[in-house]
Amino acid sequence: MGGRIADKCWRNIPSHYPHVILDEFVVMPNHVYGVIFTGDEDVGVQNLEPLQMDGPREGKFQQIVPKSIGATVRGFKIGVTKWYRQNTDIHTVWQRNYFDRIIRNEDELNRIREIHYFQSRKMGGRFTP
């Protein structure tokens, strides 16, 4: 059921973030893969405070950059988390942060699509082209 909810939230991203174009999406047993095109050279990369700090947290790195990949991923994770919290007893759905990669050309994009497809087959995930 969780995979279907993640898929639904993924497909709804453009209605909340019209500046992005979705490519493939893979729901794996314990994580997801997805490709998002922003159509913008400025992806809004930002620094985040580390989990462990010697002093008090300042919060200066916690600003969400509008229209960034971070804002888009955050919105997706919020949608899935809200569903889980309203419909199950699971409250911690995601690990902190996410892993991203800038895809620089068509060959790299095709390699990533192929890796995602074969990983989904191997691990029993659901591939959405």
Mean pLDDT of 99-111: 90
pLDDT of residue 99: 85
| Structural domain contains residue 55 | no
Let me know if residue 72 belongs to a domain. yes
Which of 103, 43, 30, 39 is CA-nearest to residue 71? 43
Tokens of 8: 């639904």
* Model pTM above 0.85: no
| Averaged pLDDT of the chain | 81
Residue-level pLDDT at 9:
95
With cut-offs at 50, 70 and 90, classify the pLDDT of residue 54: low
- Across the range 81-97, mean pLDDT stands at 92
Query: Domain containing 94: what range?
Result: 2-40+63-128
Domain count, the chain: 1
